[in-house]
Amino acid sequence: MSDYRDSRRAPGKYGDSEARHFLDVDDLTAEELEAVLGVAAEYKSEFESGVPHDDFDRKTLGMLFQKPSTRTRVSFETGMTQLGGHAIFLGEDDIQLGRGEPLKDTSRALSRYVDVLMGRVFKHANAVELARYADVPVVNGLTDDAHPCQTLADLLTIREHEDGFEDVSAAWIGDGNNVAQSFALGCALTDVDLTVATPEGYGIDDEVVERARELGGDPTLTDDPVEAATDADVIYTDVWISMGQEDERDVRMDAFDGFQVCEELLEHADDASVMHCLPAHRGEEITDDVIESDSAVVWDQAENRLHAQKGLLVWLLDQV
């Protein structure tokens, strides 16, 4: 993950642009995160009551995708529509990026057309490159090292089901991947007590742990899933084999033996809510009976991608 560590030390962090960018959760302060989640909850409540919004009348979101997506594309596009705006899907092969145009040129050109740019790319350095040369806000829709929009939805879900963040304990069980890394930062910003259980060699990046501690968090790191799950209010897992890791399948399946979120593991928790960012590999990192149980809040998480991202977008465009 060296490019992730180096990219965050770019001059001026993200270049000379005065636009707000959201490339990882700690681009927000604790107060700003609270504001974004508050706006998201407000929009969700009003949406459920049938209150229309036109905050983004005549505004356009450009959505640049190097990786395929279900929830990211649909939630952003629907969110812009609900806010009165418009979203454009830009696949890598649909624009000149797929024909060799430098990413910085794509970023500068798109900045002349759209009001905000979301990128779902592979390398985190590519998201930084978009932000460095953009004159409009850039949102990280996912990189190999971070998934901050998912964390916003996760935190909104915890906020709803735990009635806030006070005295909440969460357990991440499985791979210390991009979702885990952003979630660790989100827990630090909201004072959620986090324990991360991963097999040796699959933990979250040391630099992310240090950043979480600088934010006031103190994540506990272990290789024991039972230790992490004991008395937890929230248990969170994700796939063991992410996009691009298919050739590691056999090695990873062996490494993650014993890390499955199952009914037996939940017996150690405190009537925990079970979270998963989806898609789930049922029967691998989580059992079918758990994801279909009343403990699972995965569909609330999925829905909250929509509302959390609306809160983020209005904050980025200084509408609140």
Give yes or no: 150 in active site. yes
- Dist. CA 124–CA 106, nearest whole Å: 17
Closest CA to 76 of 255, 297, 311: 311
Whether 181 is a known active-site residue: answer no
The burial class, CB within 10 Å (0-12 / 13-18 / 19+), for 154 is buried
Residue 278 assigned as binding residue:
yes
Residue 148 assigned to a binding site: yes
Q: Is 187 a catalytic residue?
A: no
Pick the catalytic residue: 8, 147, 252, 276? 147
Neighbouring residues of 163: CB distance < 8 A, sequence distance ≥ 6: none
238 labeled binding residue: yes
313 marked ligand binding residue: no
CA atoms within 13 A on the CB side of 177: 23
d(CA 36, CA 19): 17
249 part of the active site: no
Confirm whether residue 112 is marked as ligand binding: no
Q: Count how many residues are written for the chain.
A: 320
69 is in an annotated binding site: yes
187 is in an annotated binding site: no
Catalytic residue (one of 8, 238, 252, 307): 238
Q: Which of 92, 100, 102, 150 is nearest to 122 (CA)?
A: 92
149 is in an annotated binding site: yes
The contacts of residue 216 (CB under 8 Å, 6+ apart) are 188, 189, 191
Ligand-binding site membership of 275 (annotated):
no
Q: Contact, 316 vs 137, CB < 8 A?
A: yes
Annotated active-site residue in 66, 82, 150, 309? 150
Q: Confirm or deny that 150 is annotated as ligand binding.
A: yes
Spatial CB neighbours of 117, under 8 Å, sequence gap ≥ 6: 61, 62, 64, 107, 110, 111, 130, 134, 136, 137, 138, 139
The answer on whether 20 is annotated among ligand-binding residues is no
Active site includes 120? yes
Out of 8, 20, 120, 124, pick the active-site residue.
Answer: 120
22 pairs with which residues across the strands?
139
Residue 205 known to bind ligand? no
Annotated binding-site residue? 29: no
Q: Which tokens in the block code for residue 106?
A: 């794509």
The answer to whether 178 is a known ligand-binding residue is yes
Which residue is catalytic, options 211, 305, 307, 309?
Answer: 305
Indicate the annotated binding residues.
69-72, 96, 120, 147-150, 178, 238, 242-243, 277-278, 305
Indicate the annotated binding residues for carbamoyl phosphate.
69-72, 96, 120, 147-150, 277-278, 305
Catalytic residue list = 120, 147, 150, 238, 277, 305
Indicate the annotated binding residues for L-ornithine.
178, 238, 242-243
